[in-house]
A = this chain, B = another copy of it.
Amino acid sequence: MSHTPGVRQAQKQKTRQALLDAALRLLAEQSLSSLGLREVTRVVGVAPAAFYRHFRDMADLGVALVEESLGSLHGMIRGILAERDGDDERIEATVLAVAEYVRTHPAHIRFIARERHGGVRPVREAIAAQLDRFTDEVAEAFQVGLEYRGWSAADLRMLAGLYVDHMVMTATAFLEAQPVRDVGEGAEGGAGADQGAGEGAGAGGMTEAERRIADLAHRQLRLVAIGRRHWHDG
């Protein structure tokens, strides 16, 4: 399409990303409908008018944040469901993956949880659409599994919806268990792993609060799995 990989476009996308990052950071302590355009540009260090070169308004930026937030998680879950089989193993892997994702991208999933029912229509709709796609994919992953003969498409989607909803709730529960982390991640890009001291351990370790939530989610998922197994015999 555009045959210009030039320095121009690169710089533009750089400040665009800076705007997204700044917004995400500010959204840790307020909701989108109260986030000001000037507030964002001030953090980035550009003039307020520059905002309009990238987004129509804050709602537009919000929709972009939805894609950024759910895009990667999307691929991740798909991978887990594909390569594992057996209920318990899948449950274990999923819960651990969600916990890890929340730890590495707290601001993103906080944003999703906050704006899922928030005050900005387009953002709500974008999130709903993404979660719907999620449900479709989970249902599809179930369908290729051997243990779902005799399940109608509607029942499969019902079950998938149950899992997706529970995943979202577990994620937000993990979030609330986390410390406040007043200064924003920074995360993405090449900046290297911040293996600071203190609490937040590496891949395996969990806070006590986190462990309790993981255990709860674990048991709830197991109960659902049992219900699924006996679905067709009264």
For residue A173, give the distance in angstroms from its CB to the closest CB of chain B.
Answer: 10
A169 is an interface residue with CB less than 8 A from chain B: yes
For residue A234, give the distance in angstroms from its CB to the closest CB of chain B.
Answer: 8
Stretch at the interface among A66-74, A112-120, A189-197: A112-120
What 4 pairs between A and B have smallest CB-CB spacing?
A: A227-B227, A34-B34, A31-B119, A33-B34
Point out residues on A near B: beta carbons under 8 Å. 29-34, 110, 113-114, 116-119, 128, 155, 158-159, 161-162, 165-166, 169, 172, 176, 216, 219-220, 223-231
24 examples of A-B residue contacts, CB within 8 angstroms = A29-B119, A30-B33, A30-B119, A31-B31, A31-B34, A31-B118, A31-B119, A33-B34, A155-B219, A158-B216, A158-B220, A158-B223, A159-B223, A161-B216, A161-B220, A162-B220, A162-B223, A165-B165, A165-B166, A165-B169, A223-B227, A224-B227, A225-B227, A226-B230
